[in-house]
Every structure is written in C-alpha cells, then in structure tokens.
C-alpha cells in the first residue's frame, strides 16, 4: 500500500502517521497540501502515486464555522470532493472522515448509517455536504463518521480538562449531551484497516467508527479527574450543567451516539471501550508531560 494522508498535522493525521504501514506512507500538512487547491492536489498525487488516500484534513473549528460557513464548506465540502475526484482519477482508494454532527441528535438510540441526517450547525452542514461530494466523486470511497475525537496532542476536551485541573478549583461540564469519546490512536488503527481492506462493490460506503460505550461530557470529565486523583494530582470539583445553560453560539446534538455494528460486521473493525482508551491517552499526556494548550 502507498498511503497518502492529508491534514497530517491534525489529531487523526498524526495518529495515522505514527502507525507502521506495510508499504509506504506520506503525510502532507496544510502548508504542503491545501485541499482547496486543485493544482496542489494533482501535483501531490502525481508525485507520490498513492494507492490509497485518507483525508484527515478538515475545517474543525465548530464555533468559528458558524460565522464562516463559506470557509467551512470550501474545505469540508469542496476540498474533500476535489481530493476524492483526484484519487478516483488516479485509481487510488479513498477514505474520508466525517462526524456525528451530520445528525440532529434527537433520536433516543444510537444512530445507524442509514438514519436521516439533519445537521444543527454550519460545521455539520459542511461535513454532510462533504460526504455527498466524496460519494459522488469516488465510486469506492468510504466515509467514516466518528465522534468526540481526542489525542495526547492538539486541541481537545481531554487536554482542556487536564489543563483546567491545574488551575481551577471548580469546573462546570455539560451533563445532557451523550456520545462516544474516540481516541485518535484507536481510530487511526481502524482507518488503516479499512484502507487495507480492498473495497468490494457490495461493501457499505458509509460507516460509523467511534469508541465503544457511551458517556456524557460530565462522565468523561469525572473519569479524567478520577485518574488525576489516583496519580496524586490535583483535580477540581466537578459541577454538572445543562447544555441549554452553557454559553455557546452553536447548537450541538444532544445524542451523538453512533451505532458501529456495520463496521464490525463488514470488516471486523471495532474500537476499544472509551474508558480504556482514555486511560491510555492520559498516561501518554501525564508520562510525557506534553505541553498543555491554551484553554479551549
Ligand atoms: N475533533 C473531533 O472531535 C471530531 C469529531 C468527529 C469527526 N471529526 C473529523 O475527524 C477528522 C479529523 O479531525 P481532527 O480531530 O484530526 O481535526 P484537527 O486536529 O483539527 O485536524 C485537521 C487538520 O486539517 C488541517 N486543515 C484545515 N484546513 C485545511 C486545508 N484547506 N487543507 C489541508 N489541511 C487543512 C488543519 O490545519 P490547521 O490546524 O492549520 O487549520 C488540521 O491540521 C475531520 O474530518 C473531522 O471533521 C473530528
């Protein structure tokens, strides 16, 4: 396999490039390949001649997208479509990452791939448009929806909680949004598995892949603080708050749970339990003493 990864400096891009690949892998960050630039895409594909492209590049600033919907669409819809078309033209496979935010979160069970979409915000609309653009441009593309991604690097909820624990006495976290935290390292393993599986015509084009189990943000924060305390570190008092009471310009789905059985039944791909994954990521953060980000 010759694997080309876009968005190589993001959480999932970095996790993919940290894995051993049978063959060759190349990662291109935004500075080397802007996926809105058709000419740059064509040059990158001609230079490396990938057999598979994984698109980990995206406009992921959910709040900023609300006032910059065109910017989000340029990357998440048009850019993703350009990349998929170029991969198809070159005869390369294509794996694209999408999100639980394509759903409105009003169902009371985990979402299956065939459920109606209905994004609540601009980011979600741009990602749904990207799914359609990719599926239209590449006949064998796989679109993988995931949720609540975090890693030991980057801007994410887990690192924010670890940073807040150092400075705050009390932290408020939302209790009434449920989903599955997904460790970028585990997602990357599954994405690579999917990239290696030669897609047959009858295989599903859209798959859900998220950490196993479900939690509220409050429960995730509680698990983080419990681990910090078990290591003798300071942790704040955790207070629950409803999403409605949380100041945000953006509506988010209440139910972000994705039913991941199709990926397991079709490819044998399933991600570990979210608590186990969280422990591994926290160990990486705390043992490596990764520099903490500014607060989200
Ligand atoms: N994070 C989550 O909670 C979450 C949840 C569900 C699904 N997803 C999806 O998972 C995928 C990976 O997300 P992630 O968490 O790894 O996000 P991330 O850490 O924000 O990484 C995305 C990367 O894409 C880059 N990028 C932005 N615009 C680009 C462009 N025009 N051309 C090339 N690269 C560009 C970003 O660079 P800059 O930093 O320079 O902008 C960043 O390095 C995305 O498709 C995202 O929508 C994420």
Domain boundaries, the chain: 2-155+180-212+257-273
Q: Is 110 in the pocket of ligand 1 (CB under 6 A)?
A: no
Pair type for strands 2-6 and 24-28: parallel
The number of beta carbons lying within 10 Å of the beta carbon of residue 55 is 27
Catalytic choice (123, 150, 183, 267): 123
- Tell whether the model's pLDDT for residue 8 goes beyond 70: yes
Q: Is 126 in the pocket of ligand 1 (CB under 6 A)?
A: no
Angle in degrees, CA 256, 260, 263, rounded to 5: 145
Strand ranges (E), the chain: 2-6, 24-28, 52-55, 93-99, 142-146, 149-150, 170-174, 178-179, 182-183, 206-208, 215-216, 237-241
d(CA 45, CA 86) in angstroms, rounded, equals 8
Domain 2-155+180-212+257-273 CATH class label: alpha beta
Q: Is 12 in the pocket of ligand 1 (CB under 6 A)?
A: yes
Tell me which of 6, 10, 121 to substitute to probe ligand 1's pocket, judged by most ligand atoms within 8 Å of the beta carbon. Answer: 10
* pLDDT confidence of residue 295: 37
Q: Over the stretch 75-113, which tens digit does the pLDDT of each residue have?
A: 999 999 999 999 999 999 999 999 999 999 999 999 999
pTM: 0.96
- Tell whether the model's pLDDT for residue 158 goes beyond 70: yes
* pLDDT confidence of residue 294: 45
Crossing angle for the helix pair 38-48 and 80-89, to the nearest 10 degrees: 40
Question: Collapsing DSSP states into helix, strand and coil, what is residue 183?
Answer: strand
* pLDDT confidence of residue 251: 94
Rg (CA), the chain: 19
Q: How far is the CA of 9 from the centre of ligand 1 (A)?
A: 8
Residue closest via CA to ligand 1's atom 44 equals 58
267 is catalytic: no
| pLDDT-based confidence at residue 197 (cuts at 50, 70, 90) | confident
């Amino acid at each position: 396999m010759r694997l080309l990864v876009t968005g190589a400096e993001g959480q999932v891009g970095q996790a993919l490039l940290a894995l051993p690949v049978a063959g060759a892998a190349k990662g291109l960050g935004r500075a080397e390949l802007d996926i809105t630039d058709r000419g740059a895409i064509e040059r990158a594909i001609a230079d490396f001649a990938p057999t598979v492209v994984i698109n980990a590049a995206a406009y992921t600033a959910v709040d900023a997208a609300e006032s910059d919907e065109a910017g989000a669409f340029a990357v998440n819809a048009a850019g993703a479509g350009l990349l998929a078309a170029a991969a198809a033209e070159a005869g390369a496979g294509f794996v694209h990452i999408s999100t639980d935010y394509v759903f409105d979160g009003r169902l009371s069970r985990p979402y299956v791939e065939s459920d109606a979409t209905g994004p609540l915000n601009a980011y979600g609309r741009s990602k749904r448009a990207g799914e359609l653009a990719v599926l239209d441009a590449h006949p064998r593309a796989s679109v993988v929806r995931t949720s609540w991604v975090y890693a030991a690097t980057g801007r994410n909820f887990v690192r924010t909680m670890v940073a807040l624990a150092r400075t705050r006495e009390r932290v408020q976290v939302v209790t009434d949004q449920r989903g599955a935290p997904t460790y970028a390292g585990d997602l990357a393993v599954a994405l690579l598995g999917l990239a290696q599986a030669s897609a047959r015509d009858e295989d599903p084009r859209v798959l859900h892949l998220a950490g196993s189990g479900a939690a509220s943000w409050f429960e995730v924060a509680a698990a983080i603080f419990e681990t910090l305390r078990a290591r003798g570190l300071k942790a704040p008092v955790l207070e629950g708050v409803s999403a409605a009471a949380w100041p945000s310009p953006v509506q988010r789905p209440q139910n972000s749970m994705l039913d991941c059985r199709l990926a397991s039944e079709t490819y044998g791909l399933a991600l570990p339990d979210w608590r186990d994954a969280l422990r591994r990521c926290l160990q990486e953060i705390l043992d490596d003493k990764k520099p903490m980000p500014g607060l989200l």
